Each structure stands twice: as C-alpha cells, then as structure tokens.
Amino acid sequence: MTMRPFIHINCAMSADGKIAGEDRTQVRISSEEDKARVSGLRRKYDSILVGVGTVVADDPHLTVKGASYDTNPIRIVLDPHGRTPDEARVLNEAAPTVMVTLEGCDREWDCEETIRMGKETIDLPGVMEALGEDIGIESVLVEGGGRTISEFFRAKLVDRYTVFVGGLVIGGADAPTPCDGSGWVSEDGVKLELMDCEVLGNGALLTFEPRFRIGSSQAGERTCSC
C-alpha cells in the first residue's frame, strides 16, 4: 500500500481575494495573531513546501525561529526547470532542503536531495509518494504560491485548506489569488466543507476540508492532528 503525507495548504489573502499586488509585490495581510498561529503551525509539520515562484519573488527562509537544523521542518521546493538561485536562503544550512524538478532538468544544488519526476509537469502524486515512502515525511505544509496551490487541488492532494482573510483590499484585475493556476481545477470547481471560522485580530481564519476528501478511503491516506 502506498503512503503519502498529510497535505495542508495554508495561505493569507485580502478581503478581495488577492495574495499580492499586480506586480507581485508582497503586501502584509496577516494580523499579528495569525503570524503567531503560522509560526506554531510550522513547528507541527515535518516539511514546508513552496513553488519556485515564491522562492524567486520572496527569497523565504522557510524555517522556524529558534529551531536548529535537526528540528526545523524539511524545506521542499517545486522547481520544474531549475530556476532557484544557488544563493537562495532556502538552500542555506538552517534546515534540510529537497528540490523537485522535471526529469529533463539537470540542474544541481547543494541540498540534501533532488527528486526528478514528470516529463512536462511535475508528477505531484509521485513526488508525494516518494516523500512519504523514501524520506519518511508524514505531513506537508504547503505555503504557496497560487500556481502551486492550484496544482495540489487539481491533483486532489489536499487534506486541509486554511486561509486567513485580512482586513484590507488590494485590487487589480491581474493580482495573484490563492489558487492562481490556469483554467478550472476541476470540471465544476472543488467543493469545500467549512469546518471552522475564527477571528484573529483584524481578520478571520477559515478552515476547510475538500469534499473529495470527506468520507474518502483511498489507500495510503494519512490523518494529522496538527
């Protein structure tokens, strides 16, 4: 029986559904209360995953303050064509890093492991299976960006979706959204079940479970108390 990690997508958006400005400039959306929640959330997960667009635009550490190399979550970057710079902070010595590329990409980095899977697009189900079975990762916290989140929903690889809605409006027809890939993620969208709603400062945290997960008995499905 195959075993994949529990996958939790977490993000923040403005009250008009944007995660950044039209030029991809970062905007502070989360309240102090939500930032504290995210910090605690990261401590509970085996790994944190982002797409290469987030690395190039924001150069995040993807670490937990005060944690060591051995106690930080494993950092995972989906980078189909090898665009991550060698000097990116996600490749520093603060935590282990796994890079994921297409099979035809021969880019090398100074990291713990590189997974090459998929010919035209990354084979997400295969990558998740490899993370679970070969590396022993039991939980993945996906933090963006929008295209990466879209692909997880498209592949029906989402167990929990939390989104903090901040008290501001960004605007812009072309400003990125939490699920920013091309086209519909499924024929009629992905139906979500609202599990919880909590006020956190000047905003609200919404917790959803996808309908395709509720009642599912797929082989290898994980649960998580995070």
CATH number of 6-210: 3.40.430.10
pLDDT per position as a tens digit, 81-132: 999 999 999 999 999 999 999 999 999 999 999 999 999 999 999 999 999 9
In degrees, rounded to 5, the angle at the alpha carbon of residue 61 between the alpha carbons of residues 168 and 103 is 105
By C-alpha distance, which of 155, 194, 150 is closest to 176? 150
Residue 182 is predicted with a pLDDT of 85
Alpha carbon distance 170, 60 (integer Å): 22
Whole-prediction pTM value? 0.93
Alpha carbon distance 71, 58 (integer Å): 23
Instruction: Work out the mean pLDDT of the chain and round it to a whole number.
Output: 93
By C-alpha distance, which of 116, 139, 151 is closest to 48? 139
- Cβ–Cβ under 8 Å, residues 35 and 10: no
Residue 1 is predicted with a pLDDT of 52
Alpha carbon distance 138, 115 (integer Å): 17
Q: Can you give the residue ranges of every domain in the chain?
A: 6-210
- Give the gyration radius of the chain's Cα atoms: 17
pLDDT per position as a tens digit, 143-185: 999 999 999 999 999 999 999 999 999 999 999 999 998 889 9
